[in-house]
Amino acid sequence: MGNLNSELFAAIDSVADGANEHDLAVSVQELMKKYRGKVDPRDIVLASDTDVIAYAAYRLPATFAAARSAFETAAAAMPGFAPATHLDVGGGMGAAVWAASAAWPSLRSTTVLEQSAPAIKLGKRLARRSTGTAVQGSEWERFRLTGAVPDGPRVDLATMSYVLNELTPQVQEEVVRSLARRARTVVLLEPGTPEGYERIITARGHLLAEGMSVAAPCPHDGTCPITPGEDWCHFAERLNRSGIQRRLKFARLGFEDEKYAFVAATSEPVERPAGRVLRHPQKRKGLVSLRLCTADGLEDRVVSKRQGETYRAARKTDWGDPWPPPENPDR
């Protein structure tokens, strides 16, 4: 995993070093304006080489980090799942391709569907710098996502990251259901906002309706116990910023936290934890408070120092972790 991290970030730095940084900064500002508005799926936002390099430097590391974290959580719930084939829809420059290879080293082939020709060009260029089999040998097809994904051979894994927001509700359903019919396992990511969570919950319902089971993050297939409008399920992944990221973001901090919502659904056997930690644990002297999602609903658990090993496990537990930890089955 660490090797793919460094390979991807080095590849991004390499292509960014050859570009005019002022032009990249201007492109970033224009891209952010477009993405903050409603993106029309008929529009090709990443329309030039400068656009895709700017987007890669500005956003690709965070997208990769979120996808990798979600995929690793899904992989932990499916210890027997060793996918060989991967379909990534709306894949941009391949963040999910790199992330899936980090989470599932068994992958041998990946097909990326993407509508932007410059994004495909840069994605291939980045992939050539990887030593990962599935990344280096990934195939790219130009495809505009306006409905169900095309029929084709069944794949082990299908992914789609930060794309649902660009689609109408009807197209979202068509795409998600078609992915469930094409793949043994489907993982979808959206921004970790209330709106992103709502899209994920809706997609989760479509995947369940197609006969799949939830592998992660939910520890159950039941209705989400979170009351709409009061809270939302999301997670965060911290990543170090490169020099060009800090400059393009006008940022002083050397790190950022990428917040995301996701669902992984599968037809494979799953080993779900009893609960999932939904917030940063509150750690006080002799006490740890955990907000959990369980099959019985939301639960606030307080673990005291008197509980010995369980307390020590709680002190090490973080937001998004399973509870109880696999090495500490005592509830």
pLDDT digits (tens, 9 = 90+) for 238-266: 877 666 666 666 667 666 789 999 999 99
Angle between helices 117-127 and 49-58 (to 10 degrees): 60
pLDDT of residue 226: 96
Task: Say which range, 58-62, 171-175, 225-229, has the weakest mean pLDDT.
Answer: 58-62
pLDDT digits (tens, 9 = 90+) for 254-297: 667 899 999 999 999 999 999 999 999 999 999 999 999 999 99
Q: Is the Cα dihedral 41, 191, 51, 135 positive or negative? A: negative
Mean pLDDT estimate for the chain? 88
pLDDT of residue 41: 44
Cβ density class 268-300: b for 16+ within 10 Å, e for less: bebebbbbbbbeebeeeeeebebbbbbeeeeee
pLDDT digits (tens, 9 = 90+) for 196-222: 999 999 999 999 999 999 999 999 999
Q: How far is CA 74 from CA 100, 234, 258, in A?
A: 11, 15, 18
Nearest to 162 by CA among 247, 65, 50, 74: 65
Band of pLDDT at residue 43, cut at 50, 70 and 90 = very low
Task: Identify residue 246 by its one-letter amino acid code.
Answer: R
pLDDT digits (tens, 9 = 90+) for 25-42: 666 667 666 556 554 444
Residue listed under structure tokens 């979202």: 172
pLDDT of residue 259: 96
pLDDT of residue 243: 62
Region class of 211: left (phi > 0), else alpha (psi between -120 and 50), else beta: left
Task: Say which range, 52-56, 201-205, 231-235, 292-296, has the weakest mean pLDDT.
Answer: 52-56
DSSP bridge partners of 304: 287
Nearest to 91 by CA among 38, 159, 186: 159
pTM, two decimal places: 0.90
Q: Is the Cα dihedral 66, 69, 75, 77 positive or negative? A: negative
